[in-house]
Amino acid sequence: MKKALFSTLLLVLAGITGFAQVKWGVDPAHTHVGFSVKHLGINYVNGHFAKFNGTVETTDSTNFQNANIDFTADVNSISTGVEQRDGHLKTDDFFNAAQFPDIKVKSVSFKKLSGNKYAMLADVTIRNTTKRVTFDVTYNGVVRDPWGLWRAGFTIKGKINRLDFGVKYADKLPSGVYAVAPVVEIQVNAEIVKG
């Protein structure tokens, strides 16, 4: 009887170990959270968020299939290189940073497609509105750095329609072209560190 109980306990522990999570943190010194949006239909304005944090959980140190991603960007850290424009982006015309200070991204699924390509389906929350968005992810590899820490790199690309999230600024030229396009392109170059 004791032997059977011991065997059962070992199987349970083995099962728990099999589902153990490896935790990674986003390295802000080596990560860039950028966006690009068309201006007057003829050019792109680029920007980024300087402050953000994020975590990734995986089942092991080299397999990112079904990874869980949780990411937050600080709206007040938005930067396009023009102070007046950055101030406007923080108003109610755009993000309303005073009332909605964070942009959140939480993965729903993270699936390997082929080679180093993944697809991430995520819930994106802007201005307290959540929409499901698909991102194309390229896995750039994993290395042990000179200080003994494991690091992995990813390039994440996606598009959102800002109007879907209540980012409502909608001035148009007489031709009907938006002064600031509804579609925003997102590109994140992320380096994560195993905790």
Q: Are 132 and 121 in contact (CB under 8 A)?
A: yes
Cβ atoms of 36 and 185 closer than 8 Å: yes
Answer for the pair 191, 153: CB distance below 8 angstroms, yes or no. Answer: yes
Structure tokens at 178: 């938006």
Report angle CA 83, 76, 130 to the nearest 5 degrees.
Answer: 125
User: Token match 């869980």: residue?
Assistant: 68
Q: Which residues contact 44 (CB under 8 A, 6 or more apart)?
A: 36, 37, 38
Cα separation of 161 and 94, whole Å?
13
Q: DSSP of 93-130, one letter per residue?
A: TTT-TTT--EEEEEEEEEEEEETTEEEEEEEEEETTEE
- Give residue 3's pLDDT: 53
CA angle at 120 for the pair 117 and 121, rounded to the nearest 5°: 150
Q: Which residue has the tokens 């092991």?
A: 60
* Distance from C-alpha of 176 to C-alpha of 186, rounded to nearest angstrom: 24
At the second CATH level, the architecture of 21-194 is Beta Barrel (2.40)
CB burial of 80-116 (b: ≥16 within 10 Å; e: otherwise) equals: beeeeebeebbeeebbbbeebeebbbebeebebeeee
> Under a CB-based contact definition with an 8 Å cutoff, are residues 180 and 37 in contact?
yes
Q: Tell me which residue of 193, 113, 99 sits closest to 148, measured CA to CA.
A: 193
Quote the pLDDT of residue 61: 81
User: What would you measure as the largest C-alpha separation in the chain, in angstroms?
Assistant: 84
Residues of the chain with pLDDT under 50: 4-18
pLDDT digits (tens, 9 = 90+) for 85-126: 999 999 999 999 999 999 999 999 999 999 999 999 999 999
CB atoms under 10 Å from CB of 17, counted, come to 8
